[in-house]
Amino acid sequence: MEFFDRAETWSREEIERVQLVRLRNTVQQASGSPFYAARLKEAGIAPADIRSLDDLRSVPPTTKNDLREQYPAGLVAVPREQLVRLHASSGTTGAPTVVHHTQNDLNSWADLVARSMYMVGVRPDDVFQNTSGYGLFTGGLGIHYGAERLGCHTIPAGPGNTKRQIKFIRDFQTTVLHIIPSYALYLGAALEEEGLSGAELPCRVALIGAEPHTEEIRQRIEQMLGLKAYNSYGLSEMNGPGVAFECTHQTGMHVWEDAFIPEIVNPDTLEPVADGEVGELVMTTLCRQGMPILRYRTRDLTRFLSGECACGRMHRRIDRILGRADDMMIIKGVNIYPMQIEQVLMGFPEVGENYVIELVSEDFIDQLTVKVEIRDGYFVEDMRVLTGLQKAIVRQLRDEILVTPRVDLVQTGSLPKSEGKAVRVIDRRGKE
């Protein structure tokens, strides 16, 4: 087994020893920011009080709202001349939050991304095409510098313009793609339209992430594009990509614990959940100087996977993100996550790549409608066939989510397609 970074070979003891040293330094560093100076003082915590990793739990969590209130620079812990770049979240769930980096921060971030890519077999002789937007969004520059750090010949293609993406892939013989799952499916469909198959493309690896997706979607992507797709998790508050990444075993994502401390807690009590139980992921930075963040509540739901990974890395693994706490829909009193619906839909070969969930209230009763695109070959004129399919989808969804949805089958290409992260849920309740 080859490793990019020695930290990948550390034992649990080594990881935890380094974490404790870095955690104390981080608490010290954080107290240099106006926000944490006040927060830590109020909680009566000094860096010297952190004597074990368990002591982290005495530190109050930091929320997305804290970051918004501290806009633009309340968490910055260094003099301005040490800052070299800022990024912001894509704003999927409201106003953006800003993160400021020093050159050291950027270097260690690039190392983490390079390490993640190396782990799935990417090497300096690969040609790497980045289809993320190059703006404030971390999937652009964040991944880009990691790919260069690894030594890949890097194409900053940016998003959209699918014909051009395909042309680049063929002209430059792209072997590795960075692509969000919804766009990967779109690209796959575009290939089919041009009469091309994934097997004819030189790509062998895709790094997919930035939005929740099911195992079924991963398999579709792998099949359509003729490659291996690896799940990449990150968020701008923790740099961006390079936080947790799948290895070639594709059994959960290793969290780089030399750079972050992950916790999974019950979102109501903030108590840690048992291993294997789903909760909210809470993250602490360990290597950041410009803007350290302590116990950040990500709102992302996942669980720790127990047991050791066959790859030998001792960095703990998390399951694919089940969804965001904010995405949870409560319908007729039942909690439903979009990924439960996706999983059912993608089990039907007739179902295409795009779907949308609409919530309305009719006479004060919540109604859930799922609009699904049906693949061209299956969208037949015979109403009986379609009705049979529609009923089968309703039945399976009802068994999964315990609510009877309305299901509309529509033709491929008729649902709106977003450029960035897919918008899967439209909530019109109380807005009609």
Question: And the tokens for 80?
Answer: 């301005």
Q: Which is nearer to Zn ion, 313 or 324 (CB)?
A: 313
Q: Site for ligand ADP (CB under 6 A): how many residues? A: 20
Contact residues: Zn ion, CB under 5 A? 247, 249, 309, 311, 313
Q: Which is nearer to Zn ion, 14 or 49 (CB)?
A: 14
* Minimum distance from residue 247 beta carbon to Zn ion (Å): 3
Q: Are 241 and 146 in contact (CB under 8 A)?
A: yes
Return the amino acid letter for 386. L
Q: Which does 239 bind (CB under 5 to 8 A by kind): K ion, Zn ion, ligand ADP, none?
A: none
Residue given tokens 């095409």 in the structure block: 129
Closest CA to 338 of 321, 315, 360, 361: 321
Instruction: State the minimum distance, in angstroms, from the CB of residue 151 to K ion.
Output: 5
* Spatial strand order in the sheet of 406-411: 406-411, 365-374, 351-362, 425-427
Contact region with ligand ADP (CB under 6 A), list: 72-80, 105-113, 199-207, 230-238: 230-238
Pairing of strands 279-285, 296-302: antiparallel
User: Judged by CB under 6 A, does residue 285 bind ligand ADP?
Assistant: no
User: What do you get for the CA distance between the two ends of the chain, in Å?
Assistant: 58
By beta-carbon proximity to Zn ion, the closer residue of 101 and 313 is 313
If phi > 0 it is left, if psi is from -120 to 50 it is alpha, else beta; for residue 76 that is beta
Per CB under 5 A, 153 contacts K ion: yes
DSSP 8-state class, residue 81: G
Q: Which stretch binds ligand ADP (CB under 6 A): 84-92, 114-122, 215-223, 409-417?
A: 84-92
Among 298, 340, 354, 367, binds ligand ADP (CB under 6 A): 298
Q: Which of 28, 63, 82, 92 binds ligand ADP (CB under 6 A)?
A: 92
Judged by phi (left if over 0) then psi (alpha if -120 to 50, else beta), residue 430 lies in left
User: Is 172 an interacting residue with respect to K ion (CB under 5 A)?
Assistant: no
The residue count for binding K ion (CB under 5 A) is: 3
Which residue in the set 79, 124, 349, 416 belongs to the binding site for K ion (CB under 5 A)? 124
Which H/E stretch holds residue 317?
A: strand 317-318
Query: How far is 17 from 35, CA to CA, in rounded Å?
Result: 28
**Residue 406 contact, options ligand ADP, K ion, Zn ion, none, Cβ 5-8 Å cut-off depending on partner type:** none
d(CA 210, CA 44): 36
Phi, psi of 423 (to 5 degrees): -100, 105
Q: Contact between 195 and K ion (CB under 5 A)? A: no
Selected from 146, 209, 242, 338, the binder of ligand ADP by CB under 6 A is: 209
Q: Is 324 in the site for ligand ADP (CB under 6 A)?
A: yes
Question: Which of 32, 47, 74, 91 contacts ligand ADP by CB under 6 A?
Answer: 91
Rounded to whole angstroms, the Cα distance separating 354 from 373 reads: 6
Binding residues (CB under 5 A) for K ion: these are 124, 151, 153
Binding residues (CB under 6 A) for ligand ADP: these are 89-93, 137, 209-212, 231-236, 298, 300, 321, 324
